[in-house]
Structure 1
């Protein structure tokens, strides 16, 4: 920083619109406690440094920028006399972090009136106590309001997800209950059949053969693969005919179960060669119960595994026992979100995952990224359903330079050009009254840009809308745990 201290002229600073209503005595105090400095082209202060001074430009050109990932993005450039920046919230004291929220540089020799932050706070409290209270109320009120609205938006999303999760959990749970009831019945019949076998004239060798066949049958059932409907129908006919030829009554009822278990006539012939012909019908009936119980236990296992998978996805989505900020695999987050939203996607939406799983992890707040995925997936699904036809949602990951890309592409009607610049504005929505708050994209933008120092972009034409989330692979040194939905102090974003 190359600055030259110059005399403070009360008349000159009094001509600045910020100070034009002050008395000569007040202007004298400003000159006594502040100073005029002339800066050569270059930086004046940097984002994240302690906010020690309040700057008002007398003449020159000033540029403000914000850090996004590794880049400094220009947000304002002006030569308007009297614009101000710097320690804007000094009057709030230690209730907010007193650091510069942007970087300022000058592009030509520029003069500023410079007032130390504490002096700025003192004159605000002494000269404008009512204004200071009003500004304080506006600052904290806006921040609290935004936080409350953000929490409501998250609760609405959570309620919608909970309803979908309940539906998803109900299906496998009901299937497990049905299978358990049927299994109890089959085991009862098996016990009855076992009782009949033990009371019969079966030799020890015959019983040993039955048990061996039962073990081999159970092993074969566990390795069964699904057949096409045509293949299954042909095999059912073959097995039914074989059973009829070998004196097994009502073989047409047994055949579908054997086909589902992956059994065929070759296997039945092996059974017939192992046991005496006199006990073959009883052996087939006994093995039928074995097959049914194995299939039912497989159904119960599949159902409970599905329940476990859904609970795991819900836990991953909510990030319940995880650190708030850590390195994450975005694919795990995407998969958990998509699983949670599967019921909401519905039959009209075909989901395609185009992942580059070789991508490294990124530092992130995973629970909040899941909220971003939820908003973007939900919007894409609604856009597709709005067409009345089936459509495709493609979720793609890739690397773009030093950032990770997550892209959500839908085949909906697109975002009209006239509203494209407004979709990230708070409370802007095209949904009917009661169906949207207009905060989903605003909150998503804040999470991605403010919290993760990334970017959220949209490109849209009818039939091809793409929301692109870009996340940096490195964490800026000033990373904080501030709530991502808090309102950024607008007075520090650009010179006023």
Structure 2
């Protein structure tokens, strides 16, 4: 920074500022007389992160880019160009900077020390009012920017979780469809080997009876233990070897999966000629494998459909926003679905203690989902990588529906518990939180005439949200 002599046209330069249009020349000359005129060279810092702020800066020429550290790299927040007023302002509580400013050109600035603000109030009400308006606009713009950051961060978490959740069923569908294609190529040969056996229609009916019975059994039965599978596999292998069936390693596991026992093989063998046993067994295995692969595709596609439904329920993107009778369980369920990836990533144990026959509340469902998202996300973030417990509890208390979200994290220090709902207040590092999440929770709850309470101690933190039924 280089201090310079004040040029004679400073008054004309200040007149180019929109905010000074209603300020008389006497007040602007006072501002010039009380200020220091300086120049910051290009690429130099006009302010540094966590630097004490003592001056108001009236930028006459030039500009700077604001940067902050985010996960070890510099993140640019925007460019501010002259004419512009920054720094500490009258009645502002600003004490230090939260980022750094780097000049993009030689930047000429009038610096006014904050000690002059009391005299400014007594000198010119219009000048003071103009600068207070700058502060108000700055707070509004900053709040909008942080709200956008909050939404983008939430969207990023949801997108990452959704991509992870969709990847598993999508991969299963691709894998099963490939296997099904390779499998169906072999089907004509298996079918030809069966029809050449000249099996009677009655025999086919008996074989199909066993086949369909085993398919139904597999859908309704529990899985065998590892020891039971081994015993069943040995039993079926011995029977198939005794009846001349080859390549047993490729088919016996399928029969075990569908609950075949020796008695089922005996029923099939009794219905067909001895020479037809091997081709019929291969034909049955072909049908069972096809059933398995189709079932995998159905399960995977059903999971994708559930995720899409959860997204629509969570965002209510197919509905107009309006107050409606809302089941809070639906919103909580869809929000948990969106956060499943984060829950799994931290190995969190999730427990749901949900009340039956819980009344609906009149609310905007999309706004309630913002409440669940912020409270659950904060709870998950607070939990350790292992042994984390998250409890979602719902109940009715008099004429209110209440939701409690409890975690066994380190807790919130008592000294800051009264501040957690303040806008921009956060205990997270830069780039990890905006300080707007709980402010959004508070404003949504106020909008719905509800209440929110916090109880916290090491090992137990509970947020209780209550909404009136009517």
Shift of 1:434: 1.8
The equivalent of 1:327 in structure 2 is 325
Name which of 429, 454, 459 aligns with 1:458: 454
In 2 relative to 1, CA 259–400 (structure 1 residues): closer, same or farther, beyond 3 Å?
A: same
Structure 1, gaps ≥5 residues long = 1-126, 475-496
1:167 to 148, 164, 169: 164
Whole-angstrom distance in 1 between the partners of 2:291 and 2:261: 17
Counterpart of 1:344 in structure 2 is 342
Secondary structure at the counterpart of residue 415 of structure 1 = coil
1:471 aligned onto 2:467: yes
Cross-structure match for 1:419: 416
User: Deviation per CA, 1:199-239, whole angstroms, max 9, x where unpaired?
Assistant: 34444544454445444444444434323333333322222
Structure 1 residues 207 and 173: CA distance shift in structure 2, 3 A: same
Give yes or no for the alignment of 1:198 onto 2:229. no
Cα drift, residue 143 of structure 1: 4.4
CA contact (8 A) 1:261 1:295 kept: no
1:282 maps to 279
Count how many residue pairs are aligned between Structure 1 and Structure 2. 345
| In structure 1, C-alpha distance between the alignment counterparts of 2:208 and 2:234, rounded to whole Å | 27
How many angstroms apart in 1 are the aligned matches of 2:149 and 2:431? 14
For 1:353, the equivalent position in structure 2 comes to 352
Q: How far apart in 2 are the matches of 1:332 and 1:178?
A: 32
Matches of 2:464 and 2:387 in 1, distance apart?
23
CA 413–226 in structure 1, closer or farther in 2 if over 3 Å, else same: same
Residues 44-55 of structure 1 mapped to structure 2, 5 A cutoff? none
Output the CA distance in 2 between the equivalents of 1:238 and 1:419.
68
SS in 2 for 1:471: strand
Look up the SS of the partner of 1:425 in the other structure.
Answer: coil
Quote the residue 1:481 is aligned against.
none
Distance 1:277 1:375 in 2: 68
Counterpart mapping for 1:49-64 below 5 A: none
**Structure 2 vs 1, CA of residues 379 and 233 (structure 1 numbering), >3 Å: closer, same or farther?**
farther
Partner of residue 311, structure 2: 314
**1:453–1:188 CA distance, 2 compared to 1 (3 A):** same
**Whole-angstrom CA distance in 2 between matches of 1:204 and 1:473:** 65
**In the alignment, is the contact (CA less than 8 A) between 1:455 and 1:470 conserved in 2?**
yes
Partner of 2:180 in structure 1? 183
Shift of 1:254: 2.1
Name 2:374's counterpart in structure 1.
Answer: 375
Cα 1:321–1:144 shift into 2, 3 Å: farther
Aligned counterparts of 2:138 and 2:429: Cα–Cα separation in 1: 28
Q: How far apart, in 2, do the equivalents of 1:148 and 1:452 lie?
A: 25
In structure 1, C-alpha distance between the alignment counterparts of 2:262 and 2:319, rounded to whole Å: 54
- The alignment partner of 1:285 has SS state of helix
Residue of 428, 431, 439 corresponding to 1:431:
428
Partner of 2:246: 249
**How big is each residue's C-alpha offset from its partner over 1:99-143, in whole Å with a ceiling of 9 and x where there is no partner?**
xxxxxxxxxxxxxxxxxxxxxxxxxxxx97777766666656644
List per-residue Cα deviations over 1:406-450 (Å, max 9, x = no partner).
11111111112222222222222222222111221122112112x
Give the alignment of 1:35-434 within 5 angstroms.
142-143=139-140, 145-324=142-321, 325-346=323-344, 347-385=346-384, 388-434=385-431
C-alpha distance 357-158 of structure 1, shift in aligned 2 (>3 A): farther
User: Matched residues in 2 for 1:435 and 1:362: separation?
Assistant: 33
Is the CA contact 2:194–2:276 (under 8 Å) kept in the aligned structure 1? Answer: no
**Aligned partners of 1:272, 1:426: CA distance in 2, in Å?**
77
Tell me how far apart the structure 2 counterparts of residues 362 and 130 of structure 1 sit (CA, whole Å): 50
Contact between 2:194 and 2:280, CA under 8 Å: does it hold in 1? no
Q: What is the CA deviation profile of residues 243-272 of structure 1, one whole-angstrom value per residue up to 9, with x for unaligned ones?
A: 233332233442221222233333223222
Scaled by the length of structure 1, the TM-score of the pair is: 0.65
CA contact (8 A) 1:397 1:406 kept: yes
**CA displacement at 1:329 relative to structure 2:** 0.4
SS of 1:389's partner is coil
